[in-house]
Amino acid sequence: MSDEKNRATAAALLPLVGGAANVTSVAHCMTRLRLGVADRSLVRDDALKALPAVLGVVEDDTYQIVLGPGTVARVTPEFAALVDAGRDASPAPDTSPQPSPATSPTTPDSTDPTPTPIPSTAEDLAAQGAALKARRKARNATPVKLFLRRIADVFVPLIPALIGCGIIAGLNGLLTNFGVLPALVPALAAIASGFMSLIAVFVGHNTAKEFGGTPVLGGAVAAIIVYAGVAQVSAFGQQLSPGQGGVLGALGAALLAVQVEKACRRYVPEALDVLVTPTVTVLVSGLVTLFGLMFLAGEVATAIGTCANWLLAHGGAAAGFLLGGLFLPLVMLGLHQALIPIHTTLIEQQGYTVLLPILAMAGAGQVGAALAVYFRLPGNRSIRRTVRSALPAGFLGVGEPLIYGVSLPLGRPFVTACVGGAFGGGFVGLFNQLGTTAGSTAIGPSGWALFPLLKGDQSLGATLVVYALGLLIGYAAGFLATYFFGFGKQALADLNAATGAPVDGAQRLGADGARG
């Protein structure tokens, strides 16, 4: 039955993205089906959002359909199979015009000089959320942010393995602490640690693939970092150690390998390419890695770990407050992607990242804000229905439906959601400062989905309690801030009285401003 449901979901999605002929690539991460589309105009956003299985859509470098953890991994292969079958049959893309129910008929388009209408219904919220995403994408298309996005894409495919190994490591810790099944402990330790011991190779492979090189050459150069024989090599007056530089060194080594390979392709005759290019690429990149990158990346990685630990040990409450409060704006600016290599470096060094549980509080603030929106708008069944449908995903750490479907289009609730994240982050940071560290053994999940991955320097029970209380504080702070400060009086009256007709956005801003 489950397989039939996944096939049905895939079959429902395909025509709404323009058919198989319009899909150029299919991939997935923890929660999203990531599609390359040839013609964006053939994608029916509103019809996709209306599907029960779809939690939201995000347009970035790829078109991303949020299906949620677990579901996306099962739907993706079914979708890919349908795409392959459709390409074989070569169907014509569906170009029939479709109505756009998510946009009010009186909502002006981007070229209309009239004021933007207030999002008074779920459909208006969805339309304004889509517009905000489009503007965010345009603002984020800078060289630095595009580079950070590509770096993030190097690590995204590794997240399932990080999660699986992290949970196994947690289970192994429980068996060790309770003295249960001691014969199984070494086996579980090997299973949990095997991937992490070779993560540099996977990073090198993915880096070369992402930046246009030969993946296996990137992996070959990065493998030097974890080779035991590097202990015989000296650089900068010091003996190297296996793994020195970690994922940062692997990233740099593979990026260098891509540039060397591209240079060889330009100058090496085709008849010699198959022999010369791989050899020169591995040799040159390998020597630079051994006598430069490993040492430098190792120093940077050590500094990252030292700074993170020092920051939370000496100013944990303030640091947590700032990190938890600013994470959602960082996501909007596209700068959060720079944190992914830092998380991975901390996991590689210490076994967990102390930053993720703090940043996860931003999602708690978002959930609290959405609950307040629900209770403050008893007369707006449309928006309340959107909140009800998006909250389960929000509790599990999938925040896009709440961000783009509720809080961001409404304006103030997005700010008050950040307040909730700040208080939750400040609480978790405070306990880091007091000596009870809460960390995560993997990146990707947040909200309730992070519980199986929690690890710290105290007992597991203490770590779980700190994180759970942080979530509750984030929920409560986000709720209270939104309930009391999330709406102006006139806006609240307009939204509760809304019947689908939009209210002038400039009038609303004036009314809100007059009330502080």
Give, as one character, the DSSP assignment of residue 116: P
Catalytic residue among 29, 165, 264, 418: 29
Secondary structure element (H or E) that encloses residue 35, with its range: strand 32-37
Strands annotated E in 133-185: none
SS3 content of the chain, % helix, strand, coil (to 5): 70, 5, 25
Describe the crossing of helices 294-333 and 361-376 by its angle, rounded to 10 degrees: 10
Residue-by-residue DSSP string for 318-375: HHHHHHHHHHHHHHHHTGGGGHHHHHHHHHHHHSSBSSHHHHTHHHHHHHHHHHHHHH
For residues 129 and 409, the answer to whether their CB atoms sit within 8 Å is: yes
Q: How far lies 499's CA from each of 379, 383, 388, in Å?
A: 9, 11, 19
Which of 302, 310, 209 has the alpha carbon at shortest distance from 248?
Answer: 302
Question: What is the spatial distance between Cα 404 and Cα 129, in angstroms, rounded to a whole number?
Answer: 5
Q: How far apart are CA 106 and CA 12, in angstroms?
A: 30
Give dist(CA 21, CA 37) in Å, integer. Answer: 9
Whether the CB-CB separation of 323 and 425 falls below 8 Å is answered with yes
> CA angle, 15 as apex, 12 and 17 as ends, to 5°?
105
Backbone angles phi, psi at 381, to 5 degrees: -65, -30
Q: Look-up: residue for tokens 């800078």?
A: 142
Q: How far apart are the C-alpha atoms of 95 and 100, rounded to whole Å?
A: 14
Bridge partner list, 278: none
Q: Which two three-digit tokens encode residue 342?
A: 């830092």
Residue 58's beta-bridge partner residues? 64
Concerning whether 29 is annotated as a catalytic residue, the answer is: yes
377: exposed, middle or buried (Cβ count in 10 Å: 0-12, 13-18, 19+): buried
Hey, what amino acid is at 65? I
Q: For residue 491, what are the β-bridge partners?
A: none
Strand pairing report for 63-66 and 234-235: unpaired
Residues with catalytic function: 29
